Structure 1
Amino acid sequence: MPFENYGVLAGTLHRHFRDDPDDQGRWFHVHLEVDTPAGRYACAIDVDSKHSSIGVQWKVFTLYPSVLEPVDAPSPGYHDLARASGSGALDYLRHPALADRTGFLFRRRPPRWLQGLLDRLSPPRPWISGSYLEASQALEPILVPGRQVLVFGEPFDEGLGMHNVHQNQGDPYGTQWWDDNGIWQDGATLVRRPDGRYDVFLSRFSTQADATDQDGHPLPPH
């Protein structure tokens, strides 16, 4: 089943820190502490396992707030979002500001003239693959204490916190995450710059598909 609860947390970044190194093979996180009127939220940003063969992929880029409407400047605190287009929810494969046009809209590479036009209008943002350490190092420069942040994902069942701050669709059949697949429920970390734009960090795991059906399950390869 898709997430029962999905939304965005808006607040002020207090600090961030990494998991302590150990040999337990846990999923590795960069942790954010975000201040809101309700209290300080703990946000766990997955950047893969220290011993996993799955691998992590990420993107870092900048967006104008208008592309995030209607959640471009939410009031501080947690806000539930409907898992649907137009609600403010994010979908890496369907949101016009995030989607890989070639992979989702066309299912195959478009004609060269059209690809050139699309690239000029909105430059492609390829996924970067690497280790949990490289992913952490890519995320941390945008985490400036005192700046406004938006954290999209699933709220904790108990206490103030957010997790599943990554792609939440496209997991393969037979995995423990298959039942969590769903569209318009992807996670992300956004930090507001002094000029009003947002620095954006997206992450996913290398086993997650880049084309999914309306249930968020992987589409068969062509």
Structure 2
Amino acid sequence: MPFQRYGVLSGTLHQHFRDTPDDEGAWFHVNLRVDAPDGRYRCAVDVDSHDSATGVQWKVFTVDAAALGPAAALAPGYHELARTPASGALDYIRHPALKGRPAWWATLPGWLRKLLAPLVGPALPWTSGSNLDAALALEPILAVGRPVLVFGEPFSAGLGMHNIHQNQGDPAGSQWWAENGIWQDGATLTRRPDGRYDVFLNKFSTQADQTGKTGHPL
């Protein structure tokens, strides 16, 4: 089933640092310390495995605050989000601001999007590389003192966020198949001085780029 909890943390970036490989398990992270009214959160952004063949993919781009809907106007703190387009939730596949598509694109059924894709033009491409490449792509937008929005699943205990990556499209047979769902993707956004947001999206090479209404691969 999809995550029981999903939301966004609004706060101020205090610090960021990479995992020390000897101190962590298979999954490598860039960690953010984010200040919010109830304390300092640790946000673990997955940038792939340092000891497996699973690849990581990412995009870095900038969007207007208005393109993010209600999420950009939330007060500092953690906020639960409904798994719907109107709540401010993110979906890499369906959210127009995350695809480089016109706003009406997300309202079309999947078969029609596939048919029209050659006419509309390509979406923003994914970049593939190592966990180090992904970390190097993320870190330039992590300016200390910037307001941040971190989307994902809150820790079950303590202040923190994880599953800060695509949370749909995992293949049948994988340990994450049951957590597939739409409008529950994680992401890292930092607000620029001009009010726009720099966006870092990240997914694993095994995750599909097209999913059905349950978040499973098509």
Q: Structure 1 25/7 Cα, relative in aligned 2: closer, same or farther at 3 Å?
A: closer
Separation in structure 2 between the aligned mates of residue 70 and residue 151 of structure 1, nearest angstrom: 14
Scaled by the length of structure 1, the TM-score of the pair is 0.90
Aligned twin of 1:218: 217
Separation in structure 1 between the aligned mates of residue 130 and residue 146 of structure 2, nearest angstrom: 27
Determine if the alignment matches structure 1 residue 106 to structure 2 residue 98.
no
CA contact 1:46–1:165 (8 Å) conserved in 2: yes
CA contact 2:99–2:124 (8 Å) conserved in 1: no
**Shift of residue 2, structure 1, vs aligned partner:** 0.1
Report the 3-state secondary structure (helix = DSSP H, G, I; strand = E; otherwise coil) of the residue aligned with 2:136. Answer: helix
Scaled by the length of structure 2, the TM-score of the pair is 0.92
The residue type paired with residue 96 of structure 1 is: P
Q: Percent identity?
A: 68
Separation in structure 2 between the aligned mates of residue 24 and residue 74 of structure 1, nearest angstrom: 33
The residue type paired with residue 106 of structure 1 is: R
**Shift of residue 23, structure 1, vs aligned partner:** 8.8
Aligned twin of 1:169: 168
CA contact 1:64–1:198 (8 Å) conserved in 2: yes
The alignment's C-alpha RMSD in Å is 1.9
Aligned twin of 1:160: 159
CA contact 2:36–2:77 (8 Å) conserved in 1: yes
Separation in structure 1 between the aligned mates of residue 117 and residue 8 of structure 2, nearest angstrom: 34
CA contact 2:150–2:164 (8 Å) conserved in 1: yes
**Shift of residue 71, structure 1, vs aligned partner:** 1.2
**Shift of residue 36, structure 1, vs aligned partner:** 0.5
Separation in structure 2 between the aligned mates of residue 188 and residue 127 of structure 1, nearest angstrom: 14
Aligned twin of 1:181: 180
**Shift of residue 52, structure 1, vs aligned partner:** 1.6
Question: 1:200-215 counterparts in 2 under 5 A?
Answer: 200-215=199-214
Q: Which runs of 5+ in 2 are unaligned?
A: none
Aligned twin of 1:36: 36
Question: 1:132-147 counterparts in 2 under 5 A?
Answer: 132-147=131-146
Separation in structure 2 between the aligned mates of residue 29 and residue 203 of structure 1, nearest angstrom: 11
Structure ranking higher in helix proportion: 2
Question: 1:1-222 counterparts in 2 under 5 A?
Answer: 1-22=1-22, 26-99=26-99, 106-108=113-115, 110-111=117-118, 114-115=119-120, 118=121, 124-219=123-218
Separation in structure 2 between the aligned mates of residue 141 and residue 108 of structure 1, nearest angstrom: 37
Report the 3-state secondary structure (helix = DSSP H, G, I; strand = E; otherwise coil) of the residue aligned with 1:66. Answer: helix
Separation in structure 2 between the aligned mates of residue 63 and residue 110 of structure 1, nearest angstrom: 21
**Shift of residue 98, structure 1, vs aligned partner:** 1.1
Separation in structure 1 between the aligned mates of residue 209 and residue 200 of structure 2, nearest angstrom: 17
Separation in structure 2 between the aligned mates of residue 141 and residue 76 of structure 1, nearest angstrom: 23
**Shift of residue 107, structure 1, vs aligned partner:** 1.9
**Shift of residue 108, structure 1, vs aligned partner:** 4.6
Separation in structure 1 between the aligned mates of residue 16 and residue 22 of structure 2, nearest angstrom: 19
CA contact 1:25–1:52 (8 Å) conserved in 2: no
Separation in structure 1 between the aligned mates of residue 165 and residue 115 of structure 2, nearest angstrom: 25
